[in-house]
Amino acid sequence: MKEKFYLTTAIAYPNSKPHMGHFLEFIEADALARFKKMKGYDTFLLTGTDEHGSKMVEKAKELHMTPQELADQNVPIYQQLKTSLDFDYTAFIRTTEERHIKTAQEIWMKIYDKGDIYKQQYKGLYCVGCEAFKTEKDLIDGKCPDHDKPPIFLEEENYFFRLSKYADLLIEKLESGELEVVPEFRKNEMINVIRGGLLDVSFSRPKTSLAWGIEVPNNSNHVMYVWCDALTNYLSGIGYSDNPKQFAQYWPADVHIIGKDISRFHALIWPAMLLSADLALPKKIFIHEFVTSKGKKMSKTMGNIVDPFVVMERYGSEALRFFLLKETVMGGDIDFTWPRFHNTYEAELVNGIGNLVNRVIVITQKYLVGRVPRVYKDKEIEQMIRQAWRDYEIFFDQYDFKTALESCLNLVYFSNRYITENAPWNLFKQDQEKFKQVIFILLEILANVALMLYPFIPRTSLKIQKALGVNMEKLTIPYGKVREGFRVEPIGILFPKLEDKSS
């Protein structure tokens, strides 16, 4: 039986179409899932939409729609990324689905029966953008630092979750690594938050304040607070209430991939909920940073929003996938500027990968009628390829997408230099045997490059694999080999030179 790997993205608010931050998370999750599939894992990737809460109500009101109509309008845009972005998720969960509602209510009752939910009058500050209650120390100049708006004051009777009860146990799980948070400094942040005093959290809103949500099962006058509702998608999406066999197969999650703005909810509230409900904890929480523009967080106020759909329209989805993964630095924001993006496209995709593929295939067709020459062993080259794969796997397992990609690109750089240094067009006239050795080595490296590119730019990877007769499903990963005598197919231009559209 294959070893399983269950990973999730954070579910998105469909109050608008996906932004660049969503794209980063979707691409990271997809790359990791594809890598695990290459390794032979039974991989399940869950994504979806979080359709309840006050943000949906406010946006719908602004557009003269119901929250459900707003969700139904925008959710297909997220779902269509399966094709347009090659975001190859296994399942898509909507929090308005019956299977999710049933799961959320069942988890509520498990926590309630444990004595961990109680009712209390609440007075405090609430940020609609975060869907979270705030303390004064969370604010900067009286405003939420993530949304640059002052929170509103609320006074209402809510149900609360006894988060404080699990403070010591959470520290134990975090410090022991049973619940791993990546990168390491984020784990330390979570531990410091707990040691600073972990407060109980609101778990419901009265319907008089917010009617759009999942009804509290033991009090029809309340709806579940958005995080109590949304976080349970990781259970409902794999069949907690409707497919127990599948749920048993995949839970606990191997990794939740989330943004840094929701790290506390996932690293503190979510594991405490699971502990209360007597469910296993996820193994890992990977926290990524933001995509900024010119060093600033993207916002309408700043006028620096970059629309990922515009990027794809101009350069294609593969270029966007490649850029975001290449620029991902553990613990650091990705700064998107049009000049930087264009330069990466031209240097790495046009002149790097695209140029290499074109040169090798054209030379093979011109001088060898497209046939792969006989197998030639070169221990140094073989060792270089194997080391590249070792590094590639190590860095992927550390969620260091940038360095994993560089392991592949180093083979590209080497190959382009190798062509220049050996000048095969001259060797063909001078030394036929040496010529065939050089071409075989180039084809062999290119086959491995094709496989290594699969998590990053899958369409391009599959084109190169097909041209070289390489099929990763029939090979022992991680080492791709070309077959003697195979007729290499023409592939055309993978990445055309484009006018600099960096403005």
Letter string b/e over residues 175-195, b meaning 16 or more CB atoms within 10 A of that residue's CB:
eeeebbbbbeebbebbbebbe
Q: How far from the centroid of its chain's Cα atoms is residue 205's Cα?
A: 31
d(CA 159, CA 204): 5
> What is the three-class DSSP state of 126?
strand
pLDDT one digit per residue (tens) for the chain, 503 residues: 789 999 999 999 999 999 999 999 999 999 999 999 999 899 999 999 999 998 999 999 999 999 999 999 999 999 999 999 999 999 999 999 999 999 999 999 999 999 999 999 877 677 766 666 667 667 777 777 765 678 777 778 899 999 999 999 999 999 999 999 999 999 999 999 999 999 999 999 999 989 999 999 999 999 998 889 999 999 999 999 999 999 999 999 999 999 999 999 999 999 999 999 999 999 999 999 999 988 888 776 667 789 999 999 999 999 999 999 999 988 889 999 999 999 999 999 999 999 999 999 999 999 999 999 998 889 999 999 999 999 999 999 999 999 999 999 999 999 999 999 999 999 999 999 999 999 999 999 999 999 999 999 999 999 999 999 987 765 555 677 888 899 999 999 999 999 886 55
Active site residues: 19, 22, 127, 130, 144, 147, 297, 300
Tell me how long the chain is.
503
Q: Specify the pLDDT at position 476.
A: 55
Q: Which amino acid is at 10?
A: A
Q: Specify the pLDDT at position 503.
A: 55
d(CA 412, CA 447): 11
Q: Specify the pLDDT at position 115.
A: 97
d(CA 52, CA 152): 19
Specify which residues 42 forms β-bridges with: 4
φ, ψ at 248 (rounded to 5°): -65, -30
Domains defined along the chain, listed by start? 338-474 (1.10.730.10)
Contact of 34 with 455, CB cutoff 8 Å: yes
Contact of 273 with 235, CB cutoff 8 Å: no
Q: Specify the pLDDT at position 130.
A: 62
Radius of gyration (Cα) for the chain, nearest Å? 26
Number of other CB atoms surrounding residue 291 within 10 Å: 24
Nearest of 10, 403, 492, 424 to residue 226 by alpha carbon: 10
* 153 CB burial (10 A radius; 0-12, 13-18, 19+): exposed
d(CA 229, CA 109): 13
Contact of 45 with 8, CB cutoff 8 Å: yes
